[in-house]
Amino acid sequence: MKIKEITKKDGTKVYRINVYLGVDSLTGKQVRSSVTAKSRKMCETKAHQAINNFISNGSTIAREKVIFNTFDKLALSWFESYKLTVKSNSIRVTNNYLKVYLLPELGVYRVDRITPMLLQEIVNKWAKNANTAKIINGKRERGKCKDYKLLLNLIKRILDYGMQLGAITDNPALKVFPPKLKTRAIKKIKYFDNSELKKFLCYLDTLELTPDNVRRTTLYRFLIATGLRVGEALALSWYDIDFNEQTVIINKTIVQTLTERDKIQKSAKTRESNRIVSLDSNTSTLLKNWKKVQNKRTLSLVDTLIFSYENHNYTYAREIQILTKHFASACVPNIGFHGFRHTHASLLMNNDVNPKEIQIRLGHADYAITMNTYSHLAKDKKKDTAEKFSNILKAL
């Protein structure tokens, strides 16, 4: 940097330097500034300060530096922007992570005082809690989740947001490494084997034909026959069913929100979950019979949710309570609603259905998800493979 000595009209001397600050991150233009001081040393100091101020403001002069006194204010500002880019269920989950984990640990800290060591200690504590927490019915205690890597990623995203706004100059979370999650007991997939499924279906046939029982029996059989997620099924309306082609369009899902208005999310869980699923004749007939009960044997031109009755839309929380009672009455294992989906996949696997077709039918984003989740359920096929290998050897 070349410093010029300038003599003013009153004879006093000052020193001036033209400083190249860098390329503006918002406009893409080069930014220069002029610094004046009473001494060469002071001039150099001011020049370095100008460069540092430019960088700390997000490498831009197009806006003023944004100041967040504490992490919670930065996090909540980030969350407002985040909510505009994701679906309702992601908003709900992230809001829970913020309230239960991030803000209690970091909320009161000044953003510029958050260090890699502080974050590492917090992540280590989360990891220790996850590795030592009691697991009851497949779930850890509240506040001791195993998703501490995801929590760290949220911190990184929040601090990146702070850097973009010029609130901080670097991201300390980038220097933090999450400990490995210890392998606990392998999570067993809950599903009905053939005998259990037959027992449950026979139990459903014994129920009194009240509207509530017919609706739930139709729902249970529908889930077993299609492999849909229960949230996808509860969001279906009659317009989604094509009885002529015997297909159902899945492009919505129920989410757990506080407001009835936002209950149905106008898109499925993932992009691949938006799909068309074929129905078998028995399931198609089952739906037609339920529609007659729902409409009280009258013709209705109004589109309604398939699994509703008398304008009442049932919640997941209520439905799982009733389902649990039915499992107990039928003397079968409690596999939950998702167990119907696993049962559907197991049946297809054991009956030589192409795994790629199963992936599409279930709406999995990746073929590997289908194989890693369900391939071991094809117990009958393993026996067949052993027999086939034995026959191959005999034929040599």
DSSP secondary structure string, 295-348? TTTS---S--BTTEETTEEPPHHHHHHHHHHHHHHHT----HHHHHHHHHHHHH
**Residue 275 sits in the same domain as residue 301:** yes
Quote the CA–CA distance of 210 and 293 in Å, as a whole number: 9
User: In what helix (H) or strand (E) does residue 242 lie, and over which residues does it extend?
Assistant: strand 241-242
Query: pLDDT grade, residue 258 (50/70/90)?
Result: very low
**Residue 348 sits in the same domain as residue 324:** yes
Give start and end residues of each alpha helix (H) in 6-133.
Answer: 40-56, 71-82, 88-97, 103-106, 116-132
**Residue 342 sits in the same domain as residue 213:** yes
Q: Which residues contact 155 (CB under 8 A, 6 or more apart)?
A: 102, 106, 119, 173
Quote the CA–CA distance of 279 and 53 in Å, as a whole number: 64
Residue 55's closest CA among 174, 157, 166? Answer: 166
**Residue 243 sits in the same domain as residue 272:** yes
**Residue 160 sits in the same domain as residue 284:** no
Q: Is residue 157 part of a domain?
A: yes
Q: What are phi and psi of 140, to 5 degrees?
A: -85, 165
Domain that holds residue 151: 71-175
**Residue 216 sits in the same domain as residue 322:** yes
Q: Is residue 301 part of a domain?
A: yes
User: Rg for the chain (alpha carbons), in Å?
Assistant: 31
Q: Report the number of distinct structural domains present in the chain.
A: 3
What pLDDT, on the 0 to 100 scale, is given for residue 106? 95
Q: Is residue 389 part of a domain?
A: no
pLDDT in tens, 326-382: 999 999 999 999 999 999 988 888 887 888 888 888 888 777 777 777 766 655 565
What pLDDT, on the 0 to 100 scale, is given for residue 5? 85
Residue 163's closest CA among 98, 114, 117, 123? Answer: 114
**Residue 345 sits in the same domain as residue 239:** yes
**Residue 198 sits in the same domain as residue 287:** yes
Quote the CA–CA distance of 344 and 381 in Å, as a whole number: 16
SS3 279: coil
**Residue 106 sits in the same domain as residue 202:** no
**Residue 167 sits in the same domain as residue 284:** no
Q: Dihedral sign, CA of 234, 236, 238, 242?
A: negative
pLDDT in tens, 173-182: 999 999 988 8
Q: Is residue 182 part of a domain?
A: no
Q: Is residue 232 part of a domain?
A: yes
pLDDT in tens, 206-249: 999 999 999 999 999 999 999 999 989 998 999 999 999 999 99
Q: Is residue 183 part of a domain?
A: no
Residue 199: C-alpha distances to residues 37, 169, 205 (Å): 90, 64, 10
**Residue 136 sits in the same domain as residue 24:** no
Which CATH number fits the domain that encloses residue 203?
A: 1.10.443.10
What pLDDT, on the 0 to 100 scale, is given for residue 270? 66
What pLDDT, on the 0 to 100 scale, is given for residue 384? 64
Which CATH number fits the domain that encloses residue 80?
A: 1.10.150.130
